[in-house]
Amino acid sequence: MPTASFQGVKVQQFPPKLSLEETDLKLGLTFAYKNPYKKSLPIPAHSFSFKLNGKDLPGMPLSQEGFTLPAEDSIHITYVATFDLNPRGKLSRYRVLGKDNRLEFYSSFTVNLVEYAGSLANSFDIPLPEESKGSELAKNYLDKKLGSRTLELSHGMNFRLPTLPQIKPSTNPMKVEFIGQMETINLKLLKDGLSPMVNSLIDVNNSNVLSDPFVSMMKDSIDVFGIGRVNVASYLMTTILTPFFGVEANRKWNDFVNKLEPEEDVPMLNHLVMTYVDPNSPIQDHWEGFVESWGDLDAMPDQIEFPGPRVKGMEVSIPFVFKNTNEFPIEAPLFFADAEFNAFTPISFEMGAQGRDRTIAAGEEKELWVKLRLNWNMNEASDGIFQLLQGDQFTTRLKGETQIDMGYGPMSVKMDLRNMKLQWGN
């Protein structure tokens, strides 16, 4: 008897653009048809249908064209169903997106085996009267008993319908890193030489070092006959200067003393600049800028690295957050590609998770990185990127791989384009 056995399931088509407008997933169930007879066997056109969690899918049943099984041979036939992954599409009312579901396939058709009567009799060891073997009576008898047979195909399995992920910016900053050996500036010698003096001039605790001998004497106290111990400046102002110059003399004296020996703690040079420099002069602004710049310099590390001739490239890394919106775990997507010009790789690109664990649990998030690597190394045998500027001819190769998981493990698509010709320049 002819047979049909289930062989496997395979995604026939997945949209290259992950958008709500193009979200059809085509799934194919493959059956192997086997013909045991020494004569080809036609299989008639027939219908088939898919059910999801016990409910018929929209547009069922579907039709399969008739085909012919070669004699004593087998062929594979794939039955395809289309699933709309748009959350507002045809399957939205079934509540099956992003979930584990039960998918059932069923089909049946009838084949006429009259012409295979002899094979059928031998296969089933059916006894026939001697006088009727090979006669019309035998054919009618087999036609009545075994001539028409109904073949039924069915298969059930767990089936996941993925939803599109949610992508949002990461709270972590992007990174720019140079590849190769950086040059170094040592600021320690400069800072060690300048810091003690500059910090003492701008430190608020050093304002008390301002002192004038005459002012110090005037601030002392003396014994006056008939009066007692009095402050020198106050005595002079009261008995001598005020009668001639008025109270204005006492105010000017206090201003003079405060200029030389300020009562409040202020940075030494800040006090001198603000006190003795004309307010309309740009020196005050320049001084404030100097103090701010010195603070920045003093806070810098003792060594600063910068890219020099020994740097051969740079890598730009941009993080983003990838959320699994399904009710089942998936693996984070992965992509990498690079271009080779002879033995030189000027550019490469990759996307994926850091570390070995790429699993994203149901409803969870994972940070992924997009990395762009540029290489202008001029120390390789190929002279690096300078070849692009010399008009040399290249043998170019583009290679890479993309992996995406829809709930059944990563699907991989590899790219390897060789012997591409490229000429840059005149």
Higher pLDDT, 174 or 130: 174
Give me the amino acid identity at 5.
Answer: S
Higher pLDDT, 110 or 93: 110
Q: Are 87 and 325 in contact (CB under 8 A)?
A: no
State the pLDDT at residue 263.
Answer: 63
Where residue 239 falls among pLDDT bands split at 50, 70, 90? confident
Mean pLDDT, residues 180-194: 83
- DSSP sequence for 63-125: EE--EEEPTTEEEEEEEEEEEE--TTSTTGGGT-TTSEEEEEEEEEEEEE-GGGHHHHHHHHT
State the pLDDT at residue 77.
Answer: 93
Q: What are the φ/ψ torsions at residue 216 (nearest 5 degrees)?
A: -60, -40
State the pLDDT at residue 278.
Answer: 76
Q: Which parts of 253-388 are beta strand (E)?
A: 303-306, 311-323, 330-331, 334-341, 344-353, 359-360, 365-375
Higher pLDDT, 292 or 398: 292
* Residue carrying the six token digits 């762009």: 372
Sequence ranges of the domains in the chain: 3-162, 184-299, 311-423
Measuring CA to CA, which residue among 202, 205, 230, 231 is closest to residue 298?
202
* pLDDT-wise least confident of 44-53, 173-182, 306-315: 306-315
Mean pLDDT, residues 241-269: 73
State the pLDDT at residue 70.
Answer: 92
Which helix H or strand E contains 198, and what residues bound it? helix 188-202
State the pLDDT at residue 21.
Answer: 56
Where residue 30 falls among pLDDT bands split at 50, 70, 90? very high
Return the sign of the alpha-carbon dihedral for residues 237, 243, 248, 249: negative
Where residue 132 falls among pLDDT bands split at 50, 70, 90? very low
pLDDT of residue 267 exceeding 60, the answer is: yes
Which helix H or strand E contains 423, and what residues bound it? strand 410-423
State the pLDDT at residue 67.
Answer: 92
Measuring CA to CA, which residue among 385, 366, 325, 373 is closest to residue 348?
373
Q: What is the CA radius of gyration of the chain?
A: 46
Q: pLDDT tens digit string along 288-331?
A: 888 888 888 888 888 888 777 788 888 899 999 999 999 999 88
Yes or no: domain 311-423 corresponds to CATH 2.60.40: yes
Half-sphere exposure of 81 (CA within 13 A, CB side): 23
Yes or no: domain 3-162 corresponds to CATH 2.60.120.560: no
Mean pLDDT, residues 234-256: 77
List the helix and strand counts (H, then E) for the chain.
10, 24
pLDDT above 70 as % of the chain: 77
* pLDDT-wise least confident of 84-98, 123-137, 404-418: 123-137
d(CA 371, CA 337): 11
Higher pLDDT, 285 or 422: 285
State the pLDDT at residue 390.
Answer: 61
Mean pLDDT (the chain) is 78
Mean pLDDT, residues 353-377: 87
In terms of phi and psi (left: phi > 0; alpha: psi -120 to 50; beta: otherwise), the region of 365 is: beta
State the pLDDT at residue 145.
Answer: 58
Cα 166 → chain centroid: 12
Copy the structure tokens of residue 152. Answer: 């039924």
pLDDT above 90 as % of the chain: 14
pLDDT of residue 146 exceeding 60, the answer is: no
d(CA 226, CA 247): 24
Mean pLDDT, residues 146-150: 72
Q: What are the φ/ψ torsions at residue 167 (nearest 5 degrees)?
A: -125, 130
State the pLDDT at residue 364.
Answer: 92
Higher pLDDT, 365 or 191: 365
pLDDT of residue 355 exceeding 90, the answer is: no
Same fold, 3-162 and 311-423: yes
Q: Are 388 and 374 in contact (CB under 8 A)?
A: no
Q: Are 241 and 247 in contact (CB under 8 A)?
A: no
Q: pLDDT tens digit string along 97-128?
A: 888 899 999 999 988 777 665 555 455 444 54
d(CA 42, CA 151): 13
